[in-house]
Amino acid sequence: MGATLDGKLVVAISSRALFDFEEENEVFEQTDDRAYMKLQLERVEQPARPGVAFSMVRKLLSFNDVGAQRVEVVILSRNDPVSGMRVFRSAQHYGLPIERGSFTRGQPPWRYLRPLKANLFLSAHLSDVRAALDAGVPAAQVYPRSVHAGDTHPHEVRIAFDGDAVLFSDEAERVYQAQGLGAFQRHEASKASQPLPGGPFKPLLEALHRLQQEGTPHMRIRTALVTARSAPAHERAIRTLMDWNIEVDEAMFLGGLDKGEFLREFEPDFFFDDQTGHIESAARHVPAGHVASGISNP
C-alpha cells in the first residue's frame, strides 16, 4: 500500500512561518533570489532560529508515537530547492520529524494544498493565504514579528480563535458593520437558538477535536474562543458550538476590549483572527495570524 495522509491532521507551513528567515528575506527583498539562494547555501550548516509557529508545530508533532502517526507537517514554501536543504536541516536539528516539502522558487505553492488534504496552511504571503481560503482550506498570514510562545505548557497545545468570520461565518459581522452594535445585539438575541453557519476555521476546530478525542497520555489540546461579542450575543456562539458537538475549554466575551492582554494571560501557541487590528494587538503578546476572510477583508 502506498503512503497516505488520510486520517491525519495535516499542517502545511511555509519556511518563514516555521523558522526565522527575516534577515534572509531582507536580502531577497533588497537584491534578488540569486543572492538569497547564495546566502542560504552559505548558512546551510547553521540551524535557523525558531519562527512564530514553531511552538505549535513542535507540540502538534508530539501527538505522534510509534503506534500512531496522528499529525503530519509539510513544508510548503516559495523557497527554492537549494534553500529547502537548510529548512530540512533546521527541522532535523530541533528534532522535528518533518519529511515532506514542496519548494516552488517564487511560484504560489497553495495549489498543492488539495492533494495534501491540508487542515491548516500558514504562510507569510497574503496572496497565498487568500487563495487557500478561496479553495476552502483554513489559512492564515503569520506575523513573523509576533512574540513567540513560551515554554509554560510543554504538554498542552493552546490555540485561540476569534468567532465571527473565523470559526463562524461573517453573517453577524455584516449586520454589525451595516447597522451598528444595537442592531447586531438584537439580531443575535433573536437568533440565539439558530446555529451560525461555519466559518473558514470550522474544519480545523473539528480536526483538533478529533485529535483530542484520540488522546495521548502526554499531550492534550486546549482551545479558547476569544471574541468581541458580549451578552446577549454570547448565547448564539455557545449554542453553535453545542450544535457542532464541539467543546472549547475557554470562552472570552470581551465586548470590544483589547484582546492582546487577555491572550497574554491565556498563553496560546497561536491565535487566529480576521481583523488586522486585533492581530496587531495580539502579536505584541502571543504568536498570531491573520485570517483574510469575511466582510472585513474585501
> Hey, where are the domains in the chain?
9-142, 156-290
Instruction: List the one residue out of 158, 145, 157, 150 whose CA is nearest residue 16.
Output: 145
- All three cell numbers of 274, joined, read 480576521
Taking each helix axis from N to C end, the angle separating 81-93 and 33-42, rounded to the nearest 10 degrees, works out to 30
Q: What is the pTM of this model?
A: 0.94
Q: How confident is the model at residue 144 (pLDDT cuts 50, 70, 90)?
A: confident
- pLDDT at 2 > cutoff 80: no
Question: Is the CB of residue 79 less than 8 Å from the CB of residue 105?
Answer: yes
Q: Give the pLDDT score at 277.
A: 94
Q: Give the pLDDT score at 25.
A: 82
9-142 and 156-290 share one fold: yes
Which of the following CATH numbers is that of domain 9-142: 3.40.50.1000, 3.30.43.10, 3.40.50.720, 3.30.1300.10? 3.40.50.1000
Please give the mean pLDDT across all residues of the chain: 93
Q: How confident is the model at residue 247 (pLDDT cuts 50, 70, 90)?
A: very high
**60-64, 212-216, 253-257: least confidently modelled range:** 212-216
- pLDDT at 156 > cutoff 80: yes
Q: Which residues are catalytic?
A: 162
* 156-290 classified as CATH 3.10.129.10: no
- All three cell numbers of 292, joined, read 483574510
- pLDDT at 105 > cutoff 80: yes
- pLDDT at 1 > cutoff 60: no
**Cα end-to-end distance, the chain, whole Å:** 45
